[in-house]
Amino acid sequence: MSFPQHRPRRLRTTPAMRRLTAEYRLDPAELVLPAFIREGLSEPNPITSMPGVVQHTTETLKRAASEAVELGVGGIMLFGIPAERDAAGSAGTDPNGVLNKAIADVRAEVGNDLVIMSDVCLDEFTDHGHCGVLDADGVVDNDTTLEIYGRMAVEQARAGAHVLGPSGMMDGQVAVIRQALDDAGFQDVSVIAYAAKYASAFYGPFREAVDSQLTGDRRTYQMDAANRREALLEVELDLEEGADMVMVKPAMSYLDILADVAAMSPVPVAAYQISGEYAMIEAAAANGWIDRRRAIEESVLGIKRAGANIILTYWAAELAAWLKESK
């Protein structure tokens, strides 16, 4: 191929020309806002390592949800932080547990105007901080954990979640949750599978966000950063088990994985721009080392360009407001 007369700069000459020829553009509807609610708070509690993100009270969570609706944001992903934790993570299956109550409160506030997603995982609820219950040797017990996930899922569906997000990386979790939902009459509640979730250092600030009790790491259940092909196996397994959407997580260090999954997935593909990715950009911007808004927009656009149809980002509301103002 040879185009001796071609000068690509012609299409970059004016903002209007660049806008016309842009291959990708962001839309608030594809963004999902992850949000934390902590039991027993009277005021929202700032998360130091995630400037601008808080642990919500019921009131401030409801406000954040209705603001998201006004901004045209596509969804919200809820995480709960209980007052009491135990080895089995009982607060997760308690219908009056912090997360289940928050789901009901948000659903009462926004109805069907926002897709309400919730985290089906035990790490916020266990006193040891692992995503499942432990066996006698202290190893996360896959199948005992699945049974608890099934019960958590039904309570979250009953509370009013539209989409459940099992993030624990137990084998078979999507199948068990699907079955539990169907048995309980929740055929229309969807599952977004954290299909390719890697054991990542970038989850660091999330530990503060949920007051995690974890010592050690999650390498026996989350994926190894060295593996690319294996992500496709994880996605295929989750699809076979009935996943309605699949996710790649983290996003920015895994854009190759995201592109691979986008190329083969017959269902919508999500990517989660996680706490550490947020923190890095906020920290550099706070130091004046990068332009905050441009770095945020560029990072999220990169995730979209790699193939994400849905992007979970702590900047969802702010980004949606920018997109609205530039319309």
Tell me whether residue 59 or residue 147 sits nearer to ligand PBG (CB atom).
Answer: 147
Give the start-end residues of each E strand in the chain. 31-38, 45-46, 54-56, 75-81, 115-120, 163-166, 190-197, 245-249, 269-273, 310-313
Q: Which of 275, 313, 315, 316 binds ligand PBG (CB under 6 A)?
A: 275
Could you tell me the smallest distance in angstroms from the CB atom of residue 248 to ligand PBG? 13
If one asks whether residue 121 binds ligand PBG (CB under 6 A), the answer comes out as: yes
In the structure encoding, which two tokens stand for residue 242, read together? 């009935």
Number of residues that bind ligand PBG (CB under 6 A): 10
167 binds ligand PBG (CB under 6 A): yes
Give the nearest distance from C-beta 95 to ligand PBG in angstroms. Answer: 20
218 annotated binding-site participant: yes
Task: Catalytic residue, from 197, 304, 324, 327: name it.
Answer: 197
Binding region for ligand PBG (CB under 6 A) out of 67-75, 105-113, 117-125, 256-264? 117-125
Given the DSSP bridges, would you call strands 190-197 and 163-166 parallel, antiparallel or unpaired? parallel
Q: How far is CA 173 from CA 93, 143, 183, 192, 195, in A?
A: 16, 9, 15, 11, 10
Residues 6 or more apart whose CB falls under 8 angstroms from that of 225 comprise: 198, 199, 200, 253
CB nearer to ligand PBG: pick between 157 and 183:
157
Among 203, 221, 254, 315, binds ligand PBG (CB under 6 A): 203
Distance CA 268, CA 243 (A): 10
- 207 marked as binding residue: yes
Instruction: Tell whether 167 is in a known binding site.
Output: no
Quick check: helix, strand or coil at residue 127?
coil
* Side chain identity, residue 219: R
Shortest CB 96 distance to ligand PBG, Å: 20
Residue 282 binds to ligand PBG (criterion: CB under 6 A): no
CA dihedral (279, 282, 287, 288) positive or negative: positive
Question: Which range in 119-127, 150-158, 176-184, 256-264 contacts ligand PBG by CB under 6 A?
Answer: 119-127
| Dihedral in degrees, nearest 10, Cα atoms 118, 119, 122, 127 | -80
Residue number, 41 or 117, with CB nearest to ligand PBG: 117
206 binds ligand PBG (CB under 6 A): yes
* Cβ proximity of 176 and 150 under 8 Å: yes
Residue 55 binds ligand PBG (CB under 6 A): no
Alpha carbon distance 209, 200 (integer Å): 16
Q: Which is nearer to ligand PBG, 183 or 257 (CB)?
A: 257
User: What b/e string do you get for 284-303 counting C-beta neighbours within 10 Å, with b at 16 or more?
Assistant: ebeeeebebeebbbebbebb
249, 304, 324, 327: which is the annotated catalytic residue?
Answer: 249
Residue range at the interface with ligand PBG (CB under 6 A); choices 23-31, 106-114, 115-123, 279-287: 115-123
Query: Beta strand 45-46 with 54-56: parallel, antiparallel or unpaired?
Result: antiparallel
Q: Does 193 bind ligand PBG (CB under 6 A)?
A: no
Q: In the numeric block, which tokens belong to residue 219?
A: 């390498």
Q: Does the active-site annotation cover 197?
A: yes
Please state the residue numbers annotated as binding site for Mg(2+).
Answer: 234
Please state the residue numbers annotated as binding site for 5-aminolevulinate.
Answer: 207, 218, 275, 314
List of residues contacting ligand PBG (CB under 6 A): 119, 121, 123, 131, 167, 203, 206, 218, 274-275
Active site residues: 197, 249
